[in-house]
């Protein structure tokens, strides 16, 4: 076999044989590494974490109404007046520019000891809001993971396709070189030579488009990771598929661990606690209070030159609303309706998730079957191309037939890469739906 023929066969093997790996560029980044960056920097995830932190801060006994309130106030006033006073005994006191000064201070403690159990319901509601905040964070982490994985594994496949296109173009380049030699010695027509040039140009155009697609995928991944879009890198992982997922296990796990469903159930629980808070308005309130006051006044007019009072006070306040236009009962009825709606929404979410899991599992099984078929197709397409190369060198097939076989080999590789990607995405969707992404 001539050296040129050996080169063509070597390129063909690199392009089509499974298990042949290519050297990675130095700026390769694994999925776990880019995921770590995204979980630290993703903008929406940071916002969701901040919302969860606010819910944690709000979950306090003071915010629920358990703790007393302590207020301190003080004031001082001075007035300048003109005064004329006439007494029954005939005396007259006429003062111009008299100053009157009054100072008062008050420290007051109020503590509601019974409010119809509203404070207990409020504390439970605040705790559930905190729990919901954590669930929202976990859901956002899953969605970030899923978005990033879809982009990353697409980049993996598109990088493989780029290498396939480069190798296919090498085959076209070798074919063009052979066509030029044949044309020179009169063994082929100018039409054949031009067709080889056209096919070479087509391969070059396809390669350019593929490189642009990869750059845009890199930019999309950088956006999810909150990095500048122009950062260049390469994906490192091959796609590994798991063929052991069981539908019944996934279904059970989804019903207990899916974060969207857990959040919907949490909303229903919060609505139920709001009913308890509203019911408290139908019961009396009992509060304790104590205060200490100090007051001192000085006057240059009037009967008293100065007056000072100070001392504590304490007592109990009992209140009960007898009638407020039935607004309390109206709010209770509305809260019950909201709870019913929240319960129905949870059932709706569960029903929708059941359908999503069922369809995703069907897609997953179908994609695995497609992968197996396309692997066989790729093997056969590789054999055909090997035979076509020898026939082309011997002049047994023309340019159009050879190009058709070459294109079919390329399409077989592309279909396999697509089937592997779709199978991986279906697997990730199943794991996310069942709450088993394993982040």
Q: pTM of this prediction?
A: 0.83
Final residue before a domain boundary, out of 295, 319, 343: 319
- Indicate which CATH number applies to the domain containing 182: 1.20.1600.10
Whether residues 364 and 225 share a domain: the answer is yes
Domain holding 170, by residue range, is: 3-65+116-284+325-433
Whole-number Å distance between alpha carbons of 207 and 214: 11
438 domain residue, yes or no: no
pLDDT in tens, the chain (439 residues): 444 434 444 444 444 444 444 444 548 999 999 999 999 999 999 999 999 999 999 999 999 999 999 999 999 998 887 777 777 777 777 778 778 888 999 999 999 999 999 999 999 999 999 999 999 999 999 999 999 999 999 999 999 999 989 988 888 888 888 888 888 888 777 887 888 888 889 889 999 999 999 999 999 999 999 999 999 999 986 788 877 789 999 999 999 999 999 999 999 999 999 999 999 999 999 999 999 999 888 876 666 678 898 999 999 999 999 999 999 999 999 999 999 999 999 999 999 999 999 999 999 999 999 999 999 998 998 898 889 888 877 878 877 888 888 888 888 989 999 999 999 999 999 999 999 887 7
Whether residues 162 and 126 share a domain: the answer is yes
415 domain residue, yes or no: yes
Whether residues 7 and 152 share a domain: the answer is yes
Whether residues 216 and 305 share a domain: the answer is no
Whether residues 203 and 249 share a domain: the answer is yes
Whether residues 377 and 334 share a domain: the answer is yes
Whether residues 239 and 387 share a domain: the answer is yes
Whether residues 233 and 360 share a domain: the answer is yes
Query: Strand 92-114 to strand 69-86: parallel, antiparallel, or no bridges (unpaired)?
Result: antiparallel
253 domain residue, yes or no: yes
392 domain residue, yes or no: yes
439 domain residue, yes or no: no
Whether residues 126 and 219 share a domain: the answer is yes
Whether residues 58 and 87 share a domain: the answer is no
Whether residues 204 and 148 share a domain: the answer is yes
Q: Give strand pairing partners of 72.
A: 107
Whether residues 266 and 303 share a domain: the answer is no
C-beta of residue 343 within 8 angstroms of C-beta of residue 268: yes
C-beta of residue 339 within 8 angstroms of C-beta of residue 209: no
Q: How many domains does the chain have?
A: 2
């Amino acid at each position: 076999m001539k050296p040129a023929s050996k080169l063509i066969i070597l390129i063909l093997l690199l392009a089509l044989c499974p298990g042949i790996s290519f050297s990675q560029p130095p700026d390769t980044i694994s999925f776990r590494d880019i995921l770590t960056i995204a979980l630290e920097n993703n903008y929406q995830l940071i916002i969701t974490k901040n919302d969860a932190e606010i819910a944690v801060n709000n979950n306090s006994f003071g915010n629920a109404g358990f703790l007393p309130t302590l207020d301190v106030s003080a004031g001082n006033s001075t007035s300048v007046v003109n005064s004329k006073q006439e007494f029954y005994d005939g005396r007259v006191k006429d003062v111009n520019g008299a100053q009157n000064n009054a100072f008062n201070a008050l420290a007051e403690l109020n503590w509601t000891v019974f409010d119809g159990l509203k404070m207990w319901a409020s504390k439970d509601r605040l705790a559930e809001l905190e729990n919901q905040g954590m669930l929202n964070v976990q859901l956002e982490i899953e969605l970030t993971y899923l978005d990033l994985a879809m982009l990353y594994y697409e980049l993996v496949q598109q990088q493989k396709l780029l290498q396939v296109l480069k190798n296919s173009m090498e085959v076209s380049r070798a074919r063009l070189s052979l066509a030029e030699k044949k044309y020179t010695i009169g063994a082929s027509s100018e039409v054949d030579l031009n067709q080889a040039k056209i096919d070479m140009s087509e391969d070059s155009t396809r390669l350019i488009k593929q490189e642009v697609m990869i750059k845009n995928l890199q930019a999309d991944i950088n956006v999810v990771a909150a990095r500048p879009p122009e950062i260049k890198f390469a994906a490192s992982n091959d796609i590994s598929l798991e063929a052991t997922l069981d539908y019944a296990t996934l279904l059970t796990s989804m019903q207990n661990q899916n974060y969207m469903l857990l959040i919907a159930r949490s909303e229903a629980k919060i609505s139920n606690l709001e009913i308890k808070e509203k019911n408290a308005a139908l019961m009396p309130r009992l509060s304790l209070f104590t205060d200490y006051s100090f007051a001192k006044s000085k006057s240059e007019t009037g009967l008293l030159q100065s007056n000072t009072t100070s001392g504590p006070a304490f007592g109990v306040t009992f209140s009960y609303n007898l009638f407020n236009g039935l607004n309390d009962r109206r709010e209770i009825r509305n809260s019950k309706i909201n709870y019913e709606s929240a319960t129905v929404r949870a059932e709706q979410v569960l029903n929708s998730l059941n359908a999503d899991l069922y369809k995703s599992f069907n897609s997953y099984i179908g994609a695995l079957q497609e992968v197996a078929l396309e692997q066989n197709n790729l093997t056969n397409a590789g054999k055909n191309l090997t035979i076509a190369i020898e026939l082309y060198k011997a002049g047994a097939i023309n340019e159009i037939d050879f190009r058709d076989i070459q294109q079919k080999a390329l399409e077989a590789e592309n279909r396999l890469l697509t089937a592997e990607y779709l199978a991986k995405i279906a697997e990730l969707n199943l794991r996310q739906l069942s709450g088993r992404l394993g982040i």
